[in-house]
Structure 1
Amino acid sequence: MSPRRNPLLASATGPKPAADCIALDALADRARALDALDQRLRSLLPAAVARETRLADVRDGRIVFLASDPTWASRIRLHQATLLAEARTALGGTVERFAVKVAPLPAVPPEPAKPKPLSAATARHLRAAAKALPDPELQALYLQLASIATDDSD
């Protein structure tokens, strides 16, 4: 008599080989496309609903939104006809179903801060350093950097 095997354990094969996984550039392209579609669809929503929901996925003819709690899930469902119509327009009519899941929303990274401009003193120091450099290519880079200072009066 053979011992019974657990089917869950029998089918576990471990991690996939890297060659069987989606390429990183394809994954990044999909993320960018989903982000653009998310922004396009949420622009149709009232500001409060747009703030509390995110597009999570588009797959097999279905768009899936995340809502931060059941109240927002109910509110976005009121707009599902509009969202489906816009998704069909954006994706070529392949979207037929709409789903909302309640889950914590992923954090949206803040807009990157604008870099502080270079001061005139910094530009002077960069020019002085450039004069001391023997490598002409590096010297040109230092001078180019110095040229973007805010007050280039010296």
Structure 2
Amino acid sequence: MSDSKPRSPRGHLSTPQAALDALLAEPAGGPIHRALWLEELDRRLRPRLPVPLAAHARLANFERGRLVFVVDAPVWRAKLRLLAPELLDAARSVGLDAAELVVKTTTPAVASPQPDRKAKPLSAAVQRDLQAALASLKEPEAGGPRDAS
């Protein structure tokens, strides 16, 4: 009976776990490990925020005692800054040496230059002029290149 798992040409098991292990290997895996660590830290700190605020705030970084959060509007920045003592205490309770809270506001997504607009119907005069212009393109000019005689 054969093993049903796919094998690489060298006979090693080829699994997504092996690919993940290779991706996380040092030194290239350092930034990935840090991103995963920050995501886990965000999951531990965000529940400590009031529910309306938690939906608009995200942990962006922690470095040299600075806890950096990103919010999506200035009003949430102000509300999060008011909670700085409680949030720093929460960070300390999970083992961070947090001394300062920095809150940054993201810029809103850039709107498309031309918003989707429905086409306006053409007036009767514009339709008539457009038809005349199209008809003039179809008619060969006398003595022009289209006149074969």
Compute the TM-score of the two structures, normalised by the length of structure 1: 0.50
1:74 Cα shift? 0.7
Q: Unaligned regions of 5+ residues in structure 1, if any?
A: 1-21, 106-154
Deviation at 1:69, TM superposition (A): 0.9
Tell me, yes or no, if the aligned pair for 1:73 and 1:102 is still in contact at 8 Å: yes
How far apart are the structure 2 equivalents of 1:68 and 1:40?
A: 20
Deviations along 1:36-73, one digit per CA (max 9) or x if unpaired, are 11111110111110110100100111001001011000
2:93 matches 1:95:
no
Residue from 10, 21, 39 that aligns with 1:35: 39
2:75 is matched with: 71
SS at match of 1:57: strand
Name the structure, 1 or 2, with higher relative contact order (CA <8 Å, separation 6+). Answer: 1
**Residues 33 and 100 of structure 1: CA distance in aligned 2, closer, same or farther (over 3 Å):** same
Aligned counterparts of 1:34 and 1:63: Cα–Cα separation in 2 = 11
| Structure 2: gaps spanning 5 or more residues | 1-25, 109-149
- Please identify the structure whose Cα radius of gyration is greater: 2
Bigger helix fraction: 1
Q: What SS does the corresponding residue of 1:91 show, helix, strand or coil?
A: coil
Tell me: CA distance 1:35–1:46, structure 2 relative to 1, closer, same or farther (3 Å): same
How far 1:89 moved relative to its partner?
Answer: 2.0
1:56 aligned counterpart, secondary structure: strand
Runs of 4 or more above 2 Å deviation: none
Superposed displacement of residue 104, structure 1: 4.4
Q: Determine the structure 2 residue equivalent to 1:59.
A: 63
Work out the percentage of aligned pairs sharing the same amino acid. Answer: 34
Map of 2:16 onto structure 1: none
TM-score by length of 2: 0.52
Asked if 1:82 corresponds to 2:86, the answer is: yes
One-letter amino acid of the structure 1 residue matched with residue 81 of structure 2: R
Give yes or no for contact 1:67–1:104 (8 Å, CA) kept in 2: no
| Amino acid across the alignment from 2:40 | A
